[in-house]
Amino acid sequence: MKKLTLSLLLIVAFSGWSRADEGMWLPIFAEKYNLKAMKDKGFKLTAEDIYSENQNSLKEAVVLFGRGCTGEIISKEGLVITNHHCGFDNIQSHSSVEHDYLKNGFWAYKLGDELPNPGLSVKILVKMEDVTSQVLKGVTAQMAEKDRQTTIKNNSKDILKKVEAATGCKATVEAMFYGNQYMLFVYEEYKDVRLVGAPPSAIGKFGGDTDNWMWPRHTGDFSLFRIYADKNNKPASYSPNNVPFKPSRSLKISLKGIKEGDFTMVYGYPGRTQEYLPASSIKLITEVSNPNKIRLRTKRLDIQNAEMSKNQAVRIQYAAKNASIANAWKKWQGELKGLVRLNAVAKKQQFESEFTAWAKANGKTQFADVVALLDANNAASTTLTIAKDFQTEALWSIESARFAAAFDSLVILSKDKQPNADAIKRQTDKLKKIADGFFKDYYRPIDQQTFVAMLEEFDANVPTSFKPAIIANLKAKYKGFDKLAEKVYAKSIFSNQDQFNELINSYAPKRYKVIDEDPIFQIVMAVNNLYKETVDKPLQDLRNEQNLLLRTYMQGQMEFQPQKVFYPDANSTLRIAYGKVEGYMPVDAVKYHYQSTIEGIMQKDNPNIYDYDVPAKLRELYKTKDYGRYAVNGTVPVAFTASNHTTGGNSGSPVLDAEGNLIGVNFDRCWEGTMSDLMYDPDQCRNITLDIRYALFIIDKYAGAKRLIDEMDIVQ
């Protein structure tokens, strides 16, 4: 009896994780799963307003921006707002020391000044659909996993072929719940997207990596783009004749402001969460993988930061790379702390024993040993995972090594008895293109130091059976990696543009030796080749097996908790999350307020600290209190926190009020809650939103880009 009460209590405690605010939900099911809870929180619209195929719902205004961000359309002329860090690569690529848009910002004061961005596109979802029964047609329970995958692949192909032929759009089929459900997504893709405006980094990246992932926050993290279409308003590649896209729906912007407890909703493309993993996977991530990756990135960042602070050109070259390395590096650290604080492993283990006991007691044999099998799979993966992490995070972080790996095909082609001149020409042309991008943002002293640091790490930590002999040989010959690096970096074609050009511009097959005998090339190829059979293949087999086990475990969790509504893990498909404006308590006795203001910017102001150097013009606006209609109680709101469940990819997502008006742009999460990708905590998990009033204040008062304000639909 006592035992039963205890286990009931634990189940109740466990399902407490999924309190209302947790979840990233497929908008097509909003009516079924979410609307009631949303209305209870104050939402005033219907499910049809959120998602419908009649071209009039909010979804029309939400775009998948570039490769992994979200943006939203905020004018009838196709104006898009997203984060500064989402536009960062593009802003950087238009920047030089003479025209430093990263440093000074960029504003197109007329349409003709808007800058095209080759390679950048946005996608608008046309529709989504549950296609589980079509995808699983012909799949049986007895089927071998390989055959199941083949059937699924073929069925999906058929579905895609049909929709693409019928709509002329691009489509994908995505697995939900590890393949317990399949959804179809149809997109219209726009390839002419131009840069319209970006504040200086001292606003758009204010606080830099010091404040990244933290609250209180004062970053004006936004940039503006515009979608262009052809004369018929259809997607088209870049052309000077294209015209601003006329969307079927754009968002209204609300200046009404927010207060504690107000309903909020985030509509966007969250990238990846793993909420349903067993404890042993959490342990592998947090005790093995992430500590290694964090340490390796600390070394790389130290090297980069030292060089970047010495030289403005290097700072521009490494700005985007550095930010992206630092971003995950800092998140992993917050995630580790959060999981410890949540007692995540113990909680999951407790759940697993409840689950397994239930399966055994109820004759659910397919679920009875699934956790044990997952544990065994993780145990078998541990050493291989370590090896893999050191390949991706150490070896491949040597820039010239990654670059060198691209020359493998050229060497193979050249070694042929009768080299194919056309194929070689195609390959060298391709490599020339890669090289242009590579050398533009390459600084040899950074790479040389990274080479030494990463080889030392690789050598010290990778199990001997996964280490090619060349590493020990070179280390012995040069008495460590420093001397080797000096020699290599003085002349390698992979780190010297002149030598590279000399080779590639007069390339002949017999010169392949210059590549083949280059130590950088030799090291990276030796590791990659050895890894193919000894690491990659067995690891892939284990991952395939794990996927199958997770599918079973997922199904089991759903049967075990029939009363719980599950949301599928994020997988870069369109989702809604909802919650309310609220602060939180990061540590005992400290309560964070939900709103930050321009006062905080001035409190952080320090011309001697790069991340906190407030631009003179902003100081001036602060001094004269020239806030216009964006003033609230004598100040300007900058950012706010709310309890929406978000993750990477939600950057740039619209944050909407109860009426579906835009109140802000999502750009981050609070440090204490970054474990929400693995386990959500309603007390600690908060998303950080740029208050739209600060963005408009910057556009209007700081940049004077009045024409942009005029095209927006602002409600007051």
Give me the active site residues, please.
85, 221, 651
Beta-bridged to residue 63, according to DSSP, are 71, 124
- Size of interface with ligand GLU, in residues (CB under 6 A): 9
Q: Which of 309, 467, 300 is nearest to 398 (CA)?
A: 300
In the complex, minimum distance from the CB of residue 543 to ligand ARG, in angstroms, rounded to a whole number: 25
CB 585, CB 591: distance < 8 Å = yes
Residue with tokens 């007895």: 142
Q: Are 345 and 283 in contact (CB under 8 A)?
A: yes
Q: What is the chain's Cα-based Rg? A: 27
CB of 326 to ligand ARG, least distance (A): 5
Count of CA atoms in the C-beta half-sphere (13 A) of 539: 14
Count of residues binding ligand ARG (CB under 6 A)?
12
- Single-letter amino acid, residue 364: K
Coil, strand or helix: which one is 86? helix
Helices (H) and strands (E) in the chain, counts: 29, 20
Q: What is the DSSP letter of 94?
A: T
The CB-based long-range contact list for 160-163 (8 Å cut-off, 24+ gap) reads 160/184
Least distance between ligand ARG and beta carbon 650 (Å):
9
Q: Beta partners for 264? A: 579
Select 648 or 664, whichever has its Cβ closest to ligand ARG.
648
| 437: Cα separation from own chain's centroid | 22
Residue 270 to residue 27: CA distance in whole angstroms = 13
* Choices 42-50, 201-209, 283-291, 578-586 (CB under 6 A): range interacting with ligand ARG: 201-209
Judged by beta carbon distances under 5 to 8 A according to partner kind, the member of ligand ARG, ligand GLU, none in contact with residue 492 is none
Instruction: Name the residue whose CB lies closest to ligand GLU.
Output: 651
CB-nearer residue toward ligand ARG: 455 or 601: 601
Burial of 136 (0-12, 13-18, 19+ CB in 10 A): middle
293 binds, among ligand GLU, ligand ARG, none (CB under 5 to 8 A by kind): none
Asked if 220 interacts with ligand GLU (CB under 6 A), we say: no
- Helix (H), strand (E) at residue 65: strand 62-65
Q: How far is the CB of 217 from ligand ARG (least distance, A)?
A: 10
Within 68-97, the residues that bind ligand ARG by CB under 6 A are 85
66 lines the binding site for ligand GLU (CB under 6 A)? no
Separation in Å, CA 114 to CA 80, 96, 193, 578: 13, 17, 9, 34
> Smallest gap, in angstroms, from Cβ of residue 302 to ligand ARG?
16
Q: Which is nearer to ligand GLU, 223 or 449 (CB)?
A: 223
The least distance separating ligand ARG from the CB of residue 520, rounded to whole angstroms, comes to: 28
CB under 5 to 8 A by kind: which of ligand GLU, ligand ARG, none does 209 bind? Answer: ligand ARG
- Work out whether 89 is an interface residue with ligand GLU (CB under 6 A): no
Q: How far is the CB of 666 from ligand GLU (least distance, A)?
A: 7
CB of 327 to ligand GLU, least distance (A): 7
Q: Which amino acid is at 310?
A: K
Are 467 and 534 spatial neighbours (Cβ–Cβ below 8 Å)?
no
668 binds ligand ARG (CB under 6 A): yes
- At residue 253, φ and ψ (nearest 5 deg) are -105, 130
Residue 274: burial class (beta carbons within 10 Å; 0-12, 13-18, 19+): middle
Task: State the DSSP code for 567.
Answer: -
Amino acid at 13: A
Q: Is 218 in the site for ligand GLU (CB under 6 A)?
A: no
Tokens representing 401 are 């090594």
Kindly list the distances between the CA atom of residue 566 and the CA atoms of 24, 176, 217, in Å, as whole numbers in the listed order: 10, 11, 32
181 counts as binding ligand ARG under rule CB under 6 A: no
* Cβ-based nearer residue to ligand ARG, 325 or 524: 325
Please state whether beta strands 192-198 and 223-229 pair in parallel, antiparallel, or not at all (unpaired): antiparallel
Q: Which does 282 bind (CB under 5 to 8 A by kind): ligand ARG, ligand GLU, none?
A: none
Partner interacting with residue 647 (select from ligand ARG, ligand GLU, none; CB below 5-8 Å by kind)? ligand GLU
- One symbol per residue from 206 to 225: x for binding ligand ARG (CB under 6 A), - otherwise; what is it? --xx--xx------------
* Nearest residue (CB) to ligand ARG, 321 versus 551: 321
Does 114 participate in binding ligand ARG (rule CB under 6 A)?
no
Name residues contacting ligand ARG, limited to 267-326 (CB under 6 A).
Answer: 323, 326
C-alpha to C-alpha distance for 227 and 252, rounded to whole angstroms: 18
Binding partner of residue 649 among ligand GLU, ligand ARG, none, CB cut-off 5 to 8 Å per kind: ligand GLU
Q: Which is nearer to ligand ARG, 660 or 673 (CB)?
A: 673
Nearest distance, CB of residue 656 and ligand GLU, angstroms: 17
Write each residue from 635 to 674 as x if it is in contact with ligand GLU (CB under 6 A), else as -, in one continuous string.
-----------xxxxxx---------------xxx-----
Interface with ligand ARG (CB under 6 A): 85, 205, 208-209, 212-213, 323, 326-327, 648, 651, 668
Interface with ligand GLU (CB under 6 A): 646-651, 667-669
